[in-house]
């Protein structure tokens, strides 16, 4: 299953199904991520299996945003970024790390 969302220095900010990701929502996510690049925010598209999805959703419900992002990074079948994104791969390698947030 494909999931979309934003992740940053603090972990996963948003995580939702491809069915909910119309063009307008994808554009808004891309804008939000780019407006928060100081926190290494990225918009991601990830392919995850059912088990990984359940673990991530449980961590998000428990407000473990860092743990959810670590699980996504370690267990996703694939992760991609918008083709117009600049520096996302580098940021993806650095997050989660709250110390990267200049206003933490």
- H helix runs in the chain, sequence order: 23-35, 50-61, 65-75, 88-94
> What pLDDT, on a 0 to 100 scale, did the predictor assign at position 24?
79
Instruction: Report if pTM > 0.75.
Output: yes
Q: Are 68 and 41 in contact (CB under 8 A)?
A: no
Task: List Cα–Cα distances, 49 to 30, 40, 54, 76, 79, in angstroms.
Answer: 24, 26, 9, 7, 13
Residue 25 has pLDDT above 90, yes or no: no
CA distance from start to end of the chain: 33
């Amino acid at each position: 299953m494909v999931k979309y969302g934003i992740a940053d220095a603090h972990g996963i900010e948003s995580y939702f199904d491809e069915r909910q990701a119309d063009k307008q929502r994808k554009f808004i996510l891309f804008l939000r991520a780019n407006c928060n690049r100081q926190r290494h925010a990225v918009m991601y598209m990830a392919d995850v299996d059912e088990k990984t999805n359940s673990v991530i959703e449980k961590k998000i419900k428990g407000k473990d945003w860092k743990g959810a992002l670590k699980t996504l990074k370690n267990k996703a079948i694939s992760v991609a970024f918008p083709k117009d994104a600049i520096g996302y791969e580098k940021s993806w390698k650095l997050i989660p790390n709250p110390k990267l947030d200049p206003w933490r």
